[in-house]
Every structure is written in C-alpha cells, then in structure tokens.
C-alpha cells in the first residue's frame, strides 16, 4: 500500500509539472555568503573528560555490526568503554553489555588531537533499537541507533545524501533540513567533511568543531563516507607527508569485512542495497589495489539479495559545471564499462558545489579509430548524481556550461540534500531538496527503476 500511494502521488506530479530533460533551474539562490560558524559555536560538552564528536558507522558487511567513535580530552580509566543494550518493553530490565574501544591520538603540525576511541560491536539483532552510553561518572552521555533490517530484495530503506558539507551557516541549514525528515535512516556522504584544509596549516581544530556540529545526527544514524580532496591533508612543506592522516584516524570503517586493503575503498550491504565506496584520490589504474579489489567486489554482488547497486565517489564522472570539469574523467574511462556491464543503478559524487542529475547514459564505445566519443542513452547505465551542495565555505558553483548537454537531466546552483527512499526490488523514490528561504523544498524528484529487476526507462521527473 505504501508503494502504491507513493507511485500515484509521483504520477500526479508528473502529469502536472513535467518538463523535458536538459533543464537548468531558473531558481536564483538568495545572495548569502558561505560564512563559517566560529569555533565558539560548538564548545565541548560540560563535564570532566566528557565524550564528544560521537558518531557511528556500519561495522560489518551485512548490517549486524556498528562502530561507535568518540573523543575525550584525557585517556582516563573508563573513557574507552561503551555500554549498550536493546530497548525493552514495560518493566523488563535490559541486559547491558560493555565493549572496550581501541584508542589512539595523532599529531598534525602544531596540533595534538584528543584521544580517539573506536568501539566495534558485532552480532547485533537486525531491525532493533539500541541505547548506548559513553563516558564515565558524571560525564556519561547517552545516544541510540537502530540496526537495519536483514538484507533482502524487498526490504524498504531510506538513505539521506549529503556532500561537501563543511561548517557554515548554510551547512547548518542543510544538516537540519535533512534531520527534520523522520524517514532518514542512514546517510551516504560522498566526501569533503570539515574543510579544515581551507585554513592556515590545515587547522585541525576545525575537525573537532565539525565532529561536534554533526553529532546530533551522526551519533544516531550511520554516515557512510567516501574521502574527498579536502580529506587528503597532504602538506609536506609543514612536515605532514602522509595523505588522509586526520580522516583515517578519526573516521574508522569496516573495510576489512569487504576484503579491502584500505579504508578509502570498501563496500557494505544494508537492507536491499549493496553500496560500493571508491577513492578518487588513490591509485585506480590497472593492477593497483583499488582496481583489483573493485574487480573482485563486483563479482560478489548478488542482485537477488541486494538489488540496488549504488556507488559513491568524490569527483563526478559526468558534470556540466565549469568548476572541476572532467576531473573524474580518467576514473570514468577506467571503470565505466564495468558499471554498465554490472547494471549499477546510481553513482553519487560530490566535489562540484551545485546539484546535477543525469540521464542514464554511457560513453564506452570509443577506441582510437572509431571516433565514438559522445555520451549516449543506455538503459544499462547508472544515473549520475552530483551533490556537492552541502553549503561549505567555498560557496556555490554557479558556472554551468551553456547550453546544457543532452546527458544532463536537471541542474541547479543551490545548496541542499537528497533522499533515496527504496521501496522494493523494482522502485525507489529519489528526491532532491534545496535550501530555500529556510525551508527544504523538493525541487527535483524521479521514481527510479531498478536496472536488474525492472530495467524500464523512467518517466520524466517532476520539479518545483
């Protein structure tokens, strides 16, 4: 019944507001600088050695594990312990369990981090709400999360999609607009988190303030991250020659459970989705570890169990904005044939600070003699989403090519977020919500058809 109502509403929208593809939105965002919120906006929580920057991510391949991460100023007894329990009805006393986290810290130029704790909990029950506590004595802080349903082809699930967020006043709008939607269960985040590297010597305090900023969401639902260029933090001139150092220390994931050799590329299965995360800024040529891993991972995808195949990268492969134009081209040339052959449903990227959605297109027929080098419609190809519009300090990318290319279905220079509402093995409702006059407005939507179970061309999208 839920799917029928959604489809009827969607068809009605299409009847009333259909616009052909290749649209550049006429909406003009109000002039508002992307001003960063000051560090004082996000103080540490009260209490001696209180845990902060709490966040969670899936801790295994299939959704029965969770990684809980937090930071404390001091490494005192009990500061690395998480207590957790299932919610119970009535007067039943919950069975509380404890897990100890691994603890580390790092130095970066003139900064020393707090103590970073990462606790992995496995063997959780599917589709179950858990309460968890971190901290000790008077500084205990309590949060909760809900595990996903058991992996299966018709399991409904709702992902939020946010990219290039940063920590400006516009970022705050984006995050809280997403949080105002009670349906969101996990966030797909295609890179560029704190923008600490936009400050002198890659001011690491901005990593701390970003962790406090997103905690009201990230402590309750898992964020699945891809690393962006602002996570690289490669600055040998100040004695920091190790790329991704702060990001890897702060944001652990379960890469080993998908047989990856690096936390920068990995995969998870969640509900009815198989999600592959790639690294735009790690080697991906033939014989490299990322290439070899992806080749093997695609062979493991079982569409009978997880029909929705989603890939996240940071640099977009199809982008009609002059900003970062064709920066993802070499990775596209390397992997696009695999994506088409495996009928990937959706590719999500960030990097470009605007919004764009493509048609289902591919450009895989070129060789040095045939001259076939233009994108063409392809029912086996993914739709490409560019959603680097979270609101970061660098502002809006408002220089689209003119006229719009045939592969571009909709594009707009605004800040916002998206929601992917998977309904069953054949249909998923995708909506993009712009930040408009302090309200999230659903400005673009399309009912997606699964490439494996229902490879039928989608209806034209509706737009506000």
Residue 208 contacts residue 114 (beta carbons within 8 Å): yes
CB atoms within 10 A of CB 398: 15
**d(Cα 386, Cα 355) in Å, to the nearest integer?**
6
**Is 48 among the residues known to form the active site?**
no
For residue 246, the SS3 value is: helix
Helices (H), 301-434: 329-341
Burial of 369: CB neighbours in 10 Å, binned 0-12, 13-18, 19+: exposed
Helices (H), 53-104: none
**d(Cα 293, Cα 281) in Å, to the nearest integer?**
16
Q: Is the peptide bond before 439 cis (omega within 30 degrees of 0)?
A: no
DSSP letter for each residue of 424-437:
SSSEEEEEEEEEET
Residue that is written with structure tokens 């009609």 in the block = 320
Catalytic residue, candidates 324, 427, 433, 449: 324
Closest to 429 (Cα-Cα) out of 418, 441, 417, 415 = 418
Q: What does the block give as tokens for 273?
A: 């989705």
Q: Would you name the residues annotated as active-site residues?
A: 324
């Amino acid at each position: 019944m839920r799917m029928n109502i959604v489809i009827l509403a969607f068809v009605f929208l299409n009847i009333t507001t259909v616009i052909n593809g290749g649209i550049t939105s006429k909406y003009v965002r109000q002039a508002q600088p992307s001003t960063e919120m000051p560090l004082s906006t996000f103080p540490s929580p009260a209490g001696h050695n209180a845990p902060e920057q709490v966040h969670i991510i899936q801790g295994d391949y299939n959704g029965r594990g969770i990684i809980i991460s937090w930071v404390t100023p001091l490494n005192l007894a009990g500061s690395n312990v998480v207590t957790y329990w299932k919610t119970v009805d009535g007067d039943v006393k919950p069975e509380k369990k404890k897990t100890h986290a691994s603890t580390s810290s790092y130095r970066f130029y003139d900064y020393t981090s707090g103590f970073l704790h990462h606790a992995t909990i496995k063997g959780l029950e599917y589709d179950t709400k858990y309460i968890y506590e971190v901290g000790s004595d008077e500084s205990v802080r309590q949060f909760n999360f809900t595990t996903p349903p058991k992996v299966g082809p018709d399991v409904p699930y709702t992902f939020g999609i946010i990219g290039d967020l940063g920590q400006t006043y516009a970022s705050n709008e984006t995050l809280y607009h997403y949080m105002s939607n009670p349906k969101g269960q996990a966030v797909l985040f295609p890179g560029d988190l704190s923008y600490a590297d936009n400050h002198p010597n890659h001011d690491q305090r901005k990593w701390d303030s970003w962790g406090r900023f997103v905690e009201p969401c990230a402590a309750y639902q898992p964020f699945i991250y891809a690393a962006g260029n602002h996570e690289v933090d490669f600055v040998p001139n100040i004695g920091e020659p190790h790329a991704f150092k702060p990001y890897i220390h702060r944001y652990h994931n379960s890469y080993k459970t998908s047989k990856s050799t690096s936390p920068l590329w990995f995969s998870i299965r969640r509900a009815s989705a198989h999600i592959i995360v790639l690294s735009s800024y790690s080697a991906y040529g033939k014989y490299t570890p990322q290439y070899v891993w992806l080749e093997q991972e695609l062979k493991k995808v079982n569409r009978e169990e997880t029909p929705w195949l989603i890939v996240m990268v940071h640099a977009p492969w199809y982008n009609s904005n002059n900003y970062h134009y064709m920066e993802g081209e070499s990775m596209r040339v390397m992997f696009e044939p695999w994506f088409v052959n495996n009928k990937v449903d959706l590719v999500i990227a960030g990097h470009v600070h605007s919004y764009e959605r493509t048609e289902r297109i591919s450009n895989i027929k070129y060789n040095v003699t045939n001259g076939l080098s233009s994108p063409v419609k392809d029912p086996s190809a993914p739709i490409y989403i560019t959603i680097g519009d979270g609101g970061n300090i660098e502002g809006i990318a408002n220089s689209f090519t003119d006229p719009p290319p045939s592969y571009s279905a909709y594009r707009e220079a605004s800040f916002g977020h998206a929601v992917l509402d998977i309904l069953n093995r054949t249909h998923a409702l995708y909506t993009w919500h712009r930040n408009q006059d302090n309200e999230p407005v659903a400005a673009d939507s399309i009912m997606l058809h699964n490439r494996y179970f229902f490879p039928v061309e989608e209806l034209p999208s509706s737009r506000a």
